[in-house]
Structure 1
Amino acid sequence: MCGFAGFLLGQPGGLDGLETLATHMANAIAHRGPDDLGAWADAQAGVALGHRRLSIVDLSPAGHQPMASRSGRFVMAFNGEIYNHLEMRAELQSAGVAPAWRGHSDTETLLACFEQWGIEATQAKTVGMFAIALWDVQARTLHLARDRFGEKPLYYGWAGSGAGRAFVFGSELKALRAFPGFANPVCRQALAQYMRFMAVPAPRSIYQGIYKLEPGCVLTITGAPPAEAPAQPLRPPAVFGTLSLRRWWSLADVVQAGAKNQLTDEVEAVQLLEQRLLDAVRLQSLADVPLGAFLSGGVDSSAIVALMQQQASRPVKTFTVGFEEAGFDESPYAKAVAKHLGTDHTELFVTAVEAQAVIAQLSAMYDEPFADSSQIPTHLVCKAARQHVTVALSGDAGDELFGGYNRYFWGPRIWAKLAWLPYSVRQALGAAISAMPVAGWDAMSRPVNALLAGGKGIVQAGDKAHKLAARLRGVRDLDDLYLSLVSEWQDPAAVVSGDHGAALVEPTSLLADPLPEADLAGVANSPLRMMYRDSMTYLPDDILCKVDRAAMATSLETRVPFLDHRVAELAWQLPIGMKIRVGQGKWALRQVLYKHVPRELIDRPKSGFGIPVGQWLCGPLRPWAESLLNEARLQQEGYFYPAPIRKKWAEHLAGQRDHTASLWAVLMFQAWLESVS
């Protein structure tokens, strides 16, 4: 696990000291690789690479980067892990084309494979996560590549001016900002999308002219880069001057193949799933440094830890974080699972003061506005784990692959009850619900809740009624409902000021790599469609980004066994009935887990990895929030219309509505803006 940065000048000779500059850019992300620093440059070609290394496999100097291939044709900066690289080496050796190996790093393996098989053929053979910058000395061509699901980040774009204008790239935005003359303004379109999704969705970044390479894509520049950024983000396949962008792996293809080859035997399906997961966990448990796993006590992390422990010769090191606030502490569940499995378990108990102290670090940690507040406990558990291990496995992606999110159950169910109503009638119903104040709905719910035992009443009934009303007024089909469910600010144009373009406020990324509906009977209007879209957007843009930045800020590598592409391919062969059954998700995955952990330790309502941010905003964080949400300040900065923000802030403080997520989005942008100004 590492970080890299680099650039390709539009005019070779436009800047001096290329290797020194690449070193400067790499040092901006030193936290990603505290063990080693390297830089390489070719002044004649105007290209440079900088690298920071976190040594995981082959701790010797033989793993130093940037690394040149044996023939000298390729020079590469690499971030990630190729779990099957020893098998790839063996294939080269059996074919009699392996070089004289200098070490046993996966970086060296990749370079040898690129020379023998080419770039896309090599990527197709990989099992792993990666972001790659590869310079072809012979062809004077730059290749940037990203793994199938976007586990590792990769930004690219244009910065500088005049003779120093360059195509820049790197693992984090702070490395690009270190390039001389970086002055890219905030992208209003990206800001509008951020306010909807709480993270900036690919292919945009928060800066104009800087983009995220989408998962499963390769970007190639032959010769000098285009002088300026394209007017709109490029989507694969695309050609822009000397730049081409193509998709080397497609989730849509996997979904199509799975739809045409569905598993029907439940016993066989569960057995296949367990074997695929065992293989993935085995491969991802290989490292030359201490390794452990996160354990929340939920289905996903418990399954990963159970399969780790089954194959381990000693107790697996597991980590969880607990909170002092009632209702937010899941550590007892994790402790019970750890005790049953016999892991070496560490619990970190965090006070509200300790958790709040992390907030000041978030802008630097995430480098662009990011408003999933579970970023705080995620960072804290990573920090705790790093005291004992250098690598940690996680249970991320289980929800997207096996149907875990509540919207997969409730979305289609709600739509089935409303679809028969004409759109005009749904709008009228929404208006009628909104006409009653939140307090009125709360009052009506109290006698009903009093009759329901076991905490089954409706909490914050008024708030939920008004959210339902908003969706009724704007939802025309299941796709609209999905968009509503994943949107925080339902109408970003009403809060983001300036020229963001009405069409671009819409989530263009959600329509990326669209599913061919005619070939996928049963997918178009089912939870499977939501799972596909989440896998294309929410997973890389939010979940994987959250974990990568939270972990790398502590120089911890995280691995995601569920994102072994062979596990994902099998998951898409499971019919919906093997994912969601009787209102509960992850049926097939649960069957695997129940072989190792009693269901009574697992079966409970799904809850997020949360903290009481909303309460803190009304208490100890109120002065900080008041400063950032000050009406005059918002007006002067010019990014937001103050009125809707101030309205939500007043309602939140008065206890009339819970606007935690909406306000957190504004606060995280404001804090980021302050940090980079």
Structure 2
Amino acid sequence: MCGLAGLLRPRNDLDQEHLCALAASMGEALHHRGPDDGGVWADPQAGIALAHRRLSILDLSPLGHQPMASTDGRYVIAYNGEVYNFAELREQLLGLGHGFRGHSDTEVLLAAVSQWGVEAAIARCNGMFAIALWDRERAELWLARDRVGKKPLYYGWAGDTLVFGSELKALWRHPQFDNGVDRDALALLLRYDYVPSPYCIHADTWKLAPGALLRLDAAAIARGPGAHDPARDQQRYWNAAERMRAAIADPFDGDIDAAEDRLDELLREAVGLRMVADVPVGVFLSGGTDSSVVTSLMQALSAKPVQTFTIGFEGSHHDEAPLALEVARHLGTAHTELYVSGGDALAVVPRLPAMFDEPFADASQVPTALVCKLARDLVTVALSGDGGDELFFGYKRYERALRNLSLLHRVPAPLRRWLAGRAQDHGEASRAGGFAAFAAEMGARGIGDVYRNRIVRWRFPQAAVPGAQLPPTLYDLAEPLDGRGTAADAMMLADYSVYLPDDLLCKVDRASMAVGLEARAPLLDTQVAEFAWSLPLHYKRGDDGGSKHLLKRVLRRYLPDAMVDRGKRGFGAPVSQWLRGDLREWAEALLAPDRLRAQGYFDADLVHGLWRAFVDGEKRWHTHLWNVLMFQAWHEHWRAQRDRAGDALIRATSGEGGL
């Protein structure tokens, strides 16, 4: 696992030394993602520079060094991730006459691009990756991201220069990157706790969407950000909605026993591919279904006890550590658990803005950071159970949304319209239950609207961010699957396409990479996902209305029933308790009305009113307040880092050519 950064100038006036210095500084901002090695490549004539930080996983020798050039010299790549089927591709390419100096997947990826072209080569890759590839022959920059969005890639304009990188902190290192806050993106943060792709908290800056390719040349850069439309210019080589529709149209035709056999086979292959590494590999184990499945399969495929890691919380009623310990003992893993106090968890909070350099408000980021730090002491790669909920009907909110949809259909249309009109009058009170919440449901056009009402934080974030408009996401579609499949399929598609990459996978990527740990998610293997989409709902939901029915059948092959039939506990943090306790002084300072008015991002009276109501115990507004606080803490960190980096780089590059 690594980090990449770079820039492309439409009219370059920097010599080799200064272009490399600029790229190197951007790359150094990502040192935590790749502490083992770093490299820079630049072509002043073309105005392109690539930087790379390496966390050595495959081919630990210098032959895996990046940026790496193809054998024919046409392509240069900076690449973050793993191509799990690289051995298979390598055999194919050997048969076509290609030779290899080492055994890194980077070298295989370059040979694949030389043989089949960029788009066809990426389509053959099974993996998690973010790629920056320069085509010297055509003077084109390609950016690519894996199908589900495991690995991040940001890009945007710094003056007239395109800058890109694995994290925003790399873009901040460019002296001309002073892009302010995008108010529309801030409204999205309040609504979802994160900023969905392709949007970004900064103006004139975007995320590359999962499964997308972007091709740019100097002429495209020269036209500037005003001419760029991510919806038009980002081309999908793989689209989850299209693949789900295809799977629904060609459903699995076996019985549930055959489905169980096939899922076990696919998961064994997916886990096996992700155990390949030249460094120690472990697994996060919570004791829940998803992580227990991954751990069970790892242990079945391993000749020695696998390393398992669990965080426990002192005094918590939702502590999963005892469940994980039971599973570990039954499977015979080498188990490591660490019980942390509230003070240990709170010590992470000040570090969150540096870890998540785009504001991010999923409070489970705190325990995730703790378990990643624990694992890094013993392994360099850790497998996770991410994806099981979105593929196998794992969330209780799916059941609640289906129930609400059924109730909605029983209310006459004129009454629904009247009630929906009253919801706006109640503002955020419609998020807190009672009549206002019921009225808000009545405006739903379909399952998409019903489900969105279940997951949003702020129902009307535009009221809190003056001047903001809400950009559209998949959650804004009345029918995310255009009426294909079931309502449950539509909800799982929306979560797979938005919540999974921009919340869950973002959280794990930043928390793991902050300590130089690579996280892999076998349940998100493309073959597993497309197989899950081909299954009838009752294979996942079960006749009794339970969740992850088929996945639990597979788990019963490895664990006794008592360890399988346990309720979902989640992986959260007691935010309400924190804000009323040890974090109160910190929160009050960040939410001070005078401070909010001076910054000008929020309606100070509205936000402060929610804070006072929360402190007085009138409403449980902690989730609304937490995403405001995460923005406030991020904003403070960003300006400090940006000012420091800008001053340093202006001094470092203020020679011949200038900036």
Place the TM-score, normalised by the shorter chain, in its bin.
over 0.9
Between the aligned partners of 2:435 and 2:509, the Cα distance in structure 1 is 35
Classify 1:405/1:231 alpha carbon distance in 2 versus 1 (closer, same or farther; 3 Å): farther
| Aligned match of 1:500 | 468
8 Å CA contact retained: 1:295, 1:334: yes
Between the aligned partners of 1:270 and 1:231, the Cα distance in structure 2 is 51
8 Å CA contact retained: 1:142, 1:221: yes
Deviation of the 1:352 alpha carbon: 0.6
Helix, strand or coil at the partner of 1:176 = helix
Classify 1:259/1:132 alpha carbon distance in 2 versus 1 (closer, same or farther; 3 Å): same
Asked if 1:141 is matched to 2:140, the reply is yes
| Aligned match of 2:298 | 308
The amino acid that maps onto 1:579 is: K
What does 1:461-476 align with in structure 2 at a 5 Å threshold? 463-465=432-434, 468-469=437-438, 471-472=440-441, 474-476=443-445
Between the aligned partners of 1:426 and 1:569, the Cα distance in structure 2 is 37
8 Å CA contact retained: 1:167, 1:225: no
Asked if 1:669 is matched to 2:638, the reply is no
More displaced, 576-585 or 664-673?
576-585
Asked if 1:219 is matched to 2:210, the reply is no
Asked if 1:486 is matched to 2:486, the reply is no
Of 196, 209, 234 in structure 2, the residue corresponding to residue 201 of structure 1 is 196
Of 184, 188, 193 in structure 2, the residue corresponding to residue 189 of structure 1 is 184
8 Å CA contact retained: 1:252, 1:513: no
Runs (5+) with no aligned partner, structure 2: 640-659
Deviation of the 1:432 alpha carbon: 9.8
Helix, strand or coil at the partner of 2:348 = helix
Classify 1:608/1:430 alpha carbon distance in 2 versus 1 (closer, same or farther; 3 Å): farther
Asked if 1:48 is matched to 2:49, the reply is yes
8 Å CA contact retained: 1:78, 1:130: yes
Helix, strand or coil at the partner of 1:17 = helix
Between the aligned partners of 1:156 and 1:512, the Cα distance in structure 2 is 27
Report the count of equivalent residues. 635
| Aligned match of 2:344 | 354
| Aligned match of 1:251 | 240
| Aligned match of 1:631 | 593
Between the aligned partners of 2:170 and 2:133, the Cα distance in structure 1 is 18
8 Å CA contact retained: 2:311, 2:338: yes
Deviation of the 1:422 alpha carbon: 3.1
| Aligned match of 2:652 | none
| Aligned match of 2:88 | 87
The amino acid that maps onto 1:667 is: L
Classify 1:435/1:8 alpha carbon distance in 2 versus 1 (closer, same or farther; 3 Å): closer
Of 539, 544, 555 in structure 1, the residue corresponding to residue 500 of structure 2 is 539
Between the aligned partners of 2:293 and 2:546, the Cα distance in structure 1 is 17
Deviation of the 1:405 alpha carbon: 1.1
8 Å CA contact retained: 2:447, 2:478: no
Helix, strand or coil at the partner of 2:235 = strand
| Aligned match of 1:458 | none
8 Å CA contact retained: 1:76, 1:134: yes
What does 1:380-395 align with in structure 2 at a 5 Å threshold? 380-395=370-385
The amino acid that maps onto 1:227 is: A
After superposition, the CA RMSD in angstroms is 2.3
More displaced, 568-577 or 245-254?
245-254
The amino acid that maps onto 1:119 is: V
| Aligned match of 2:319 | 329
Classify 1:429/1:325 alpha carbon distance in 2 versus 1 (closer, same or farther; 3 Å): farther
Deviation of the 1:109 alpha carbon: 0.6
| Aligned match of 2:167 | 172
Classify 1:658/1:229 alpha carbon distance in 2 versus 1 (closer, same or farther; 3 Å): farther
8 Å CA contact retained: 1:423, 1:476: no
Classify 1:669/1:433 alpha carbon distance in 2 versus 1 (closer, same or farther; 3 Å): closer
The amino acid that maps onto 1:184 is: N
TM-score by length of 1: 0.90
User: Could you give the per-residue CA deviations for residues 600-658 of structure 1, whole angstroms, max 9, x where no partner exists?
Assistant: 11322222201211111001110001001111111111100022222221222122222
Deviation of the 1:475 alpha carbon: 3.1
Deviation of the 1:569 alpha carbon: 1.0
8 Å CA contact retained: 1:158, 1:228: no
Deviation of the 1:555 alpha carbon: 0.5
User: Could you give the per-residue CA deviations for residues 133-177 of structure 1, whole angstroms, max 9, x where no partner exists?
Assistant: 0001111111000000000000011113xxxx2011110000001
Asked if 1:373 is matched to 2:363, the reply is yes
8 Å CA contact retained: 1:11, 1:224: no
Asked if 1:108 is matched to 2:107, the reply is yes
Of 563, 583, 604 in structure 2, the residue corresponding to residue 621 of structure 1 is 583
Deviation of the 1:667 alpha carbon: 0.3
8 Å CA contact retained: 2:596, 2:602: yes
Between the aligned partners of 1:197 and 1:48, the Cα distance in structure 2 is 35
| Aligned match of 1:452 | none
Between the aligned partners of 1:232 and 1:401, the Cα distance in structure 2 is 37
| Aligned match of 1:648 | 610
More displaced, 417-426 or 625-634?
417-426
Deviation of the 1:228 alpha carbon: 5.0
Between the aligned partners of 2:256 and 2:399, the Cα distance in structure 1 is 21
8 Å CA contact retained: 1:510, 1:536: no
Between the aligned partners of 1:435 and 1:491, the Cα distance in structure 2 is 11
The amino acid that maps onto 1:351 is: S
Classify 1:232/1:331 alpha carbon distance in 2 versus 1 (closer, same or farther; 3 Å): farther
Deviation of the 1:383 alpha carbon: 0.3
Helix, strand or coil at the partner of 2:238 = coil
Of 620, 631, 649 in structure 2, the residue corresponding to residue 658 of structure 1 is 620
Between the aligned partners of 1:431 and 1:169, the Cα distance in structure 2 is 44
Asked if 1:566 is matched to 2:522, the reply is no
More displaced, 506-515 or 45-54?
506-515
Asked if 1:27 is matched to 2:17, the reply is no
More displaced, 60-69 or 217-226?
217-226
Between the aligned partners of 2:286 and 2:433, the Cα distance in structure 1 is 28
| Aligned match of 2:125 | 126
| Aligned match of 1:276 | 266
Between the aligned partners of 2:208 and 2:408, the Cα distance in structure 1 is 39
Deviation of the 1:341 alpha carbon: 0.9
8 Å CA contact retained: 2:448, 2:477: no
TM-score by length of 2: 0.92
Between the aligned partners of 2:433 and 2:203, the Cα distance in structure 1 is 36
User: Could you give the per-residue CA deviations for residues 230-279 of structure 1, whole angstroms, max 9, x where no partner exists?
Assistant: 4487344x2xxxxx431111112211221122124111111111100000
| Aligned match of 1:425 | 415
The amino acid that maps onto 2:211 is: G
Of 228, 249, 256 in structure 2, the residue corresponding to residue 260 of structure 1 is 249
Deviation of the 1:225 alpha carbon: 3.3
Deviation of the 1:507 alpha carbon: 3.3
8 Å CA contact retained: 1:393, 1:558: yes
Deviation of the 1:546 alpha carbon: 0.5
Classify 1:46/1:67 alpha carbon distance in 2 versus 1 (closer, same or farther; 3 Å): same
8 Å CA contact retained: 2:312, 2:321: yes
Deviation of the 1:92 alpha carbon: 1.1
Classify 1:142/1:276 alpha carbon distance in 2 versus 1 (closer, same or farther; 3 Å): same
8 Å CA contact retained: 1:328, 1:611: no
Between the aligned partners of 1:374 and 1:122, the Cα distance in structure 2 is 36
The amino acid that maps onto 2:3 is: G
Between the aligned partners of 2:400 and 2:139, the Cα distance in structure 1 is 53
8 Å CA contact retained: 1:203, 1:233: no
Runs (5+) with no aligned partner, structure 1: 239-243, 440-461
Helix, strand or coil at the partner of 1:607 = coil
Helix, strand or coil at the partner of 2:347 = helix
| Aligned match of 1:579 | 540
User: Could you give the per-residue CA deviations for residues 567-621 of structure 1, whole angstroms, max 9, x where no partner exists?
Assistant: 1111111111111122211111110001111121132222220121111100111
